[in-house]
Structure 1
Amino acid sequence: MLEFCADPKTLEGLSWLSCYLTTPKHMEFYFSFLTVMALLLVAAPAALAFGFGGAMAARSHIAPLRWLGKIYTAMVRGVPDIVFFLFFVIALDQGIEWLTHQVRCPDWSEPIRQGLEFRVCPAAKVPPNNASLFVHQAYAFTLAVLTFAIVFGAFAANVLKGAMDAVPRAQIETAEAYGLSPRQTFRRILVPQMWTYALPGLSNLWLILIKATPLLFLLGIQDIVYWARELGSSKSARFDYPHGDWRLYYFLGLLVFYLALTRVSEIGLARLTRRLSHGQATRAGETLRKDAA
């Protein structure tokens, strides 16, 4: 906070606004934008990893593994995101504490489930009750990343499986004719070519993931939506910086942020599509060959 902001009641105009926008809570609001970006940067690769694993399982020649891949994609895609986020996070959190309880408190005699309450011994609390706020926020963020990865990984698995199936069979047969093993064919032929077919679907998933980041608010994380509502709501004279209902302006700021992030993503994805299409036997690849001619 600036030095002349010691007494907000003596400020007016731009001085008041500059002090208002540099309060500790506003600094947390600005930091929450980094939280959203961190979620995207971590959850996207994690979801892609889940999706790749799900696609491989769904294409497996081993029946139980194939069933598992299909059940994963069908079950997660069939449940509304908000329901899955609310249920899965609670179930995962309680599952971790239950396992910790079994290890650390084997002599505990009281029932863990007491009506609607879930009680474990103090040593089994994850994170511990005396942990810092940062630890609690980091734990919640980790659960959020895992939940996002599982949900969007199911959609990515469906996209990647379709992309693998779209690679011309003649490419696989040619690799087999040259003596490549199934593993070599998969790594050198199938995977490099499937990205051209998968990228449109994955691009849509990335944009949907951006729009889904406000779900962090439901997971107890103080994200940009939380702070926009908190800071924008009416503040009476008992606050240092009283003001009316400014939520409209804060949410307009979030609108600009998400539109800008979406536009940057579209530009980056267009360049990536152009790069992956180079030399491919697709319409985009043919267009590139004609432009280069």
Structure 2
Amino acid sequence: MFSFCSDPASLEGIEWLSCYLTTGKHLGIYWSIGTVLLLLAITAPVALLFGFAGASAARSRILPIAWFGKGYTAIVRGVPDIAFFLFFVIALDQFFEWIRHEVKCPDWDMPIRQGSDFVVCAEAKLPLGTAPQWVHETYGFSLAVLTFAIVFGAFAANVLSGAMRAVPHAQLETAEAYGMSQRQTFWRVLVPQMWVYALPGLSNLWMVLIKATPLLFLLGVEDIVYWARELGATKTAKFTDYPHGDWRMWYFLALLVFYLGFTKVSEVVLDKIMLRLTRGQATAAGEAQRKAAA
């Protein structure tokens, strides 16, 4: 990147370090930070949508829908995250390929399951073998986002379900007494007020989601953990222009600083959102604000 980096063997000190940190391989770890932030930016709203759908389904008066909502929450929350991630990504990938196989290759006369192998026609592969590398990476990232959203959506559903129950029932009865339908009461009274009760649980869930992003490494996505392990391992002059010993401790220490800093920023933002939501609300936090203002 710098003009003086043309001969790494002649460098030392800060010049050597500046050249080392700007090599092409190091751009991978910088891009991976963007990958983690993008995962969080997409997963958080999608998981919240899954959670809201699950909590709403659990409250339904139609039994099959209520059973589905409660079952989704109970099953996903009851399975260890790492086991769900390792299983579900494979199952989801094979499910998509099986659907494409049934549509694109109806004349296929061989079994799809051949021992431990899952074999579909070439046209049904996701992504296609001829697809460029960015398509493969985008597909893998999309599967990871969907898996994260389903897992954390179940926890969000549990939080939102509790928040819905925390809204004073008298307010719902009052809305119905004023002639509001069940749907109007839900959207105009229950949903706007439940967020103040849900935010503490959702805040904790956001922190857990941040800490869970290193699981991308298990899903085949080249995230920060992958690059920290790859770049921090011992490198000899035979394989690189910038040889060094085992520096994994320093790379993982940098990850520690990154995650601590990110969670601190998240805490500050979430506190501001909580202050905004509780303003004027009939809650302990809202009462504390009124006393402080007086």
Which category describes the TM-score, using the shorter chain as reference length? over 0.9
Q: Deviations over 1:239-270 (max 9, x none)?
A: 21110000000000000000001000101111
What's the secondary structure of 2:230's corresponding residue?
Answer: helix
Partner of 1:252: 253
**Counterparts of 2:80 and 2:264, CA distance in 1:** 27
What's the secondary structure of 2:281's corresponding residue?
Answer: coil
Matched, 1:268 2:269: yes
Partner of 1:56: 56
**Counterparts of 1:104 and 1:7, CA distance in 2:** 55
Consecutive unaligned residues in structure 1, runs of 5 or more: none
Partner of 2:237: 237
Q: Which amino acid aligns with 2:71?
A: I
**Counterparts of 1:15 and 1:202, CA distance in 2:** 45
Shift of 1:17: 1.1
Partner of 1:44: 44
Q: Which amino acid aligns with 1:283?
A: A
What's the secondary structure of 1:245's corresponding residue?
Answer: coil
Shift of 1:291: 1.2
Q: Deviations over 1:96-155 (max 9, x none)?
A: 111111111222222221111111111111111121221111101110110011000001
**Counterparts of 1:292 and 1:191, CA distance in 2:** 27
Task: Describe how 1:3-42 pairs up with structure 2 within 5 A.
Answer: 3-42=3-42
What's the secondary structure of 1:265's corresponding residue?
Answer: helix
- In the TM superposition, structure 1's runs of 4+ consecutive aligned residues that sit over 4 Å from their partners are none
Partner of 1:286: 287
Shift of 1:54: 0.3
Shift of 1:66: 0.5
Residues matched between the structures, number: 293
Consecutive unaligned residues in structure 2, runs of 5 or more: none
Q: Which amino acid aligns with 2:291?
A: K
Shift of 1:4: 2.6
Q: Which amino acid aligns with 1:227?
A: W
Q: Which amino acid aligns with 1:35?
A: T
Q: Which amino acid aligns with 2:279?
A: H
Shift of 1:10: 2.4
Partner of 1:186: 186
What's the secondary structure of 1:106's corresponding residue?
Answer: coil
Partner of 1:131: 131
Partner of 1:110: 110
What's the secondary structure of 1:27's corresponding residue?
Answer: helix
Which has the larger displacement, 78-87 or 7-16?
7-16
What's the secondary structure of 1:287's corresponding residue?
Answer: helix
Partner of 1:95: 95
Percent of residue pairs bearing the same amino acid type? 69
Q: Deviations over 1:219-254 (max 9, x none)?
A: 100000000000000001212111000000000000
What's the secondary structure of 2:55's corresponding residue?
Answer: helix
Partner of 2:148: 148
**Counterparts of 1:291 and 1:188, CA distance in 2:** 29
Matched, 1:200 2:191: no
What's the secondary structure of 2:286's corresponding residue?
Answer: helix
